[in-house]
Amino acid sequence: MLTSFVLTMAIAAPVPPAAPPTPSGPVPRILELKPDADGKIMVTVTRTEMVQAAGAVNAAAPGGAAAAPANVAVNRVLTVELGDVKELKITTADGTKVDTAEALKKLSRGAVVVVSTDGKPVSPNFLKVFKDDVLVLASPELSGGAFVRPGGPVRPGGPIRPLPAPIAVPAQPGVIQIQIQPAVQVQPAQPPVVQVVPALPAPAPKPEK
Residue 163 lies in a domain: no
Residue 137 lies in a domain: yes
Quote the number of domains for the chain: 1
Residue 35 lies in a domain: yes
**145 alpha carbon, distance to own chain's centre:** 5
Residue range(s) defining the domain that contains residue 113:
22-52+70-142
Residue 74 lies in a domain: yes
Q: How far apart are CA 173 and CA 175, in angstroms?
A: 6
Do the Cβ atoms of 1 and 7 come closer than 8 Å? Answer: no
Which residues neighbour 116 within 8 Å (Cβ) at sequence distance 6 or greater? 25, 28, 122, 136, 137, 138, 139, 142, 143
Do the Cβ atoms of 42 and 110 come closer than 8 Å? Answer: no
> What's the Rg (C-alpha) of the chain?
32
Residue 76 lies in a domain: yes
Residue 99 lies in a domain: yes
Per-residue pLDDT of the chain (209 residues; tens, 9 = 90+): 555 555 555 555 566 666 555 667 899 999 999 999 999 999 999 998 888 776 655 665 566 566 667 788 888 899 999 999 999 999 999 999 999 999 999 999 999 999 999 999 999 999 999 999 999 999 999 986 444 444 444 333 333 344 444 455 555 555 555 554 544 444 555 555 555 555 556 666 666 65
Residue 156 lies in a domain: no
Residue 131 lies in a domain: yes
Contacts 24+ apart (CB under 8 A), 55-59: none
Distances (CA, A) of 186 to 109, 122, 182, 189, 191: 37, 35, 12, 9, 15
